[in-house]
Amino acid sequence: MKNSILVLIGAVVIILILVNILHDDMYYNLKLEELKQEYAIKPLPSVDHTQFPELQKDFESPQEVTAACISCHNQRHIEVMNSAHWNWERVSYIEGRGIAAAGKRNVINNFCIGAQTNEQACAKCHIGFGMTQDHYDFNNAQNVDCMVCHDNSDEYHKGSEMAGYPDRAVNLTKVAQSVGNPQKNNCGVCHFLGGGGNNVKHGDLEMALLSAPREVDVHMASNGMDMNCVDCHTAENHKMRGRLYSVSSDNTNRATCEQCHTNTPHFDDILNRHNAKV
**Residue scoring higher pLDDT (195 or 70):** 70
Question: Contact 58/173 with Cβ under 8 angstroms?
Answer: yes
pLDDT over 80 at 145, yes or no: yes
Q: What is the pLDDT of residues 236-274, one digit of tens each?
A: 999 999 877 656 667 778 888 888 998 888 888 888 888
How many of the other CB atoms lie within 10 Å of CB of 179? 22
Closest CA to 68 of 125, 157, 144, 171: 144
Confidence category of residue 1, pLDDT binned at 50, 70, 90: low
Question: Contact 123/143 with Cβ under 8 angstroms?
Answer: no
pLDDT over 90 at 56, yes or no: yes
Query: What ranges do the domains of the chain cover?
Result: 28-272
How many of the other CB atoms lie within 10 Å of CB of 156? 26
Closest CA to 230 of 170, 168, 186: 186
- Alpha helices, DSSP H, located in 114-171: 119-122, 147-150
End-to-end CA distance of the chain: 60
Q: Which residues pair with 94 in a beta bridge?
A: 98
Ramachandran region, residue 8 (left: φ > 0; alpha: ψ -120 to 50; beta: rest): alpha
pLDDT over 70 at 2, yes or no: no
For the residues 169-177, what does the mean pLDDT come to? 97
pLDDT for residue 65: 97
Sign of the C-alpha dihedral computed for residues 47, 233, 189 and 74 taken in this order: positive
pLDDT for residue 111: 64
**Residue scoring higher pLDDT (223 or 21):** 223
pLDDT over 80 at 233, yes or no: yes
Closest CA to 139 of 93, 82, 76, 214: 82
pTM of the full structure: 0.82
Q: What is the pLDDT of residues 98-139, one digit of tens each?
A: 888 777 777 776 666 777 778 888 888 899 999 987 678 899
Q: What is the pLDDT of residues 177-222, one digit of tens each?
A: 999 999 999 999 999 988 778 988 777 889 999 999 999 999 999 8
User: What does the alpha-carbon distance between residue 206 and residue 71 come to, in Å, rounded to a whole number?
Assistant: 35
The secondary element (H helix, E strand) that includes residue 189 is: helix 184-191
**Residue scoring higher pLDDT (156 or 36):** 156
Cα distances (Å, whole numbers) of residue 156 to 120, 127, 145, 165: 18, 13, 11, 11
pLDDT for residue 26: 53
How many of the other CB atoms lie within 10 Å of CB of 197? 11
pLDDT for residue 128: 94
Question: Contact 70/141 with Cβ under 8 angstroms?
Answer: yes
Summary mean pLDDT of the chain? 86
pLDDT for residue 45: 83
Among 7-21, 146-160, 171-185, the range scoring the smallest mean pLDDT is: 7-21
**Residue scoring higher pLDDT (251 or 51):** 51
Class of residue 149 by CB neighbours under 10 A (exposed 0-12, middle 13-18, buried 19+): buried
CA dihedral 65→115→234→98, nearest 10 degrees, is: -130
